[in-house]
Amino acid sequence: MEIPRLKPRGETASSARVDFSEMTPELLPFLGQAAYIQLEVFENLSRAVSTAPTLTAKEGLSAAAGIALAKHHVLIAEIRRRDAKPDEVMAPFRSAIDRYRAATTGSDWYELLLSSYLTAGMLDDFFIRLADGLPGDSGPWVAELLGRDAGTDVLVSELQAGIAADSRLGSRLAMWGRRLVGDTLLIARSALHGTGPETPVESRIEPVFTELVAAHTRRMDLLGLTA
């Protein structure tokens, strides 16, 4: 069972999509933001490990945390390989992403699981899409890295089991899932600063955001939640 992803690059694309791929993000800031987001995903997942009610859940979550951390370290290594300092490259994104994490951690274990599942899914989709415009041969490489199986089956199965056992949890999580979308799109939008000489216009972003929300809706459906 995989996170439903956006269509892979190369499939028939809308004209809006082509516009979006013409934006050329600068490589280092892109890597820095993507790296810090993976670190944030890792932090959420490792928090979920610590508060997991069963050892089975702990096991699955720790594997997912390890995958996010490995992605982070690959991105960090790439920043170093380009003679830049990871902390300096990530610094500009730190406060916004820290605030985002605080706002999306949730009030209990299930909200944390849902955040980890939905926000990592949306942000991976977004950065994979944005990678289209990276200079040189970095795009396909980064897209492949971010698109690797994130080990999130455990999130889906734990959420499904929790929701099946308690219908009120389902209603609460449906609301929580809807709340996450806005904050996540703001983080995604912030990645578009400095993506080229012309400021990206709403008409270009909008179709991509529509696709992100559609993928989000499919994830909610998979959990039996109304988006």
Closer to a copy of itself at the Cβ: 59 or 144?
59
Closer to a copy of itself at the Cβ: 45 or 146?
45
Q: What's the closest the beta carbon of residue 75 comes to a copy of itself, in angstroms?
A: 12
Closer to a copy of itself at the Cβ: 72 or 129?
72
* Residue 58 burial class via C-beta count within 10 angstroms: exposed 0-12, middle 13-18, buried 19 and up: middle
Token pair 């600068």 is found at 26
**Host H or E run for residue 180:** helix 167-190
Q: What's the closest the beta carbon of residue 60 comes to a copy of itself, in angstroms?
A: 10
Q: Where does residue 90 fall: left (phi above 0), alpha (psi -120 to 50 degrees), or beta otherwise? A: alpha
In whole angstroms, give the CA distance from residue 190 to residue 93.
9
Q: What's the closest the beta carbon of residue 165 comes to a copy of itself, in angstroms?
A: 19
Say how many C-beta atoms besides its own lie within 10 A of residue 169's C-beta.
16
DSSP string, 6-70: PPPTTS---HHHHHHHT----HHHHHHHHHHHHHHHHHHHHHHHHT-SSHHHHHHHHHHHHHHHH
Q: What's the closest the beta carbon of residue 120 comes to a copy of itself, in angstroms?
A: 16
Q: What's the closest the beta carbon of residue 157 comes to a copy of itself, in angstroms?
A: 14
Closer to a copy of itself at the Cβ: 66 or 133?
66
Residue 168: partners with Cβ closer than 8 Å, 6 or more residues away: none
Q: What's the closest the beta carbon of residue 191 comes to a copy of itself, in angstroms?
A: 18
Closer to a copy of itself at the Cβ: 119 or 195?
119
Q: Which two structure tokens, joined as six digits, stand for 203?
A: 């008409």
- Applying CB under 8 A, which residues contact a copy of itself? 39, 42-43, 46-47, 49-50, 54-56, 58-59, 62-63, 65-66, 69-70, 72-73, 76, 86-87, 90-91, 94
Closer to a copy of itself at the Cβ: 149 or 206?
149
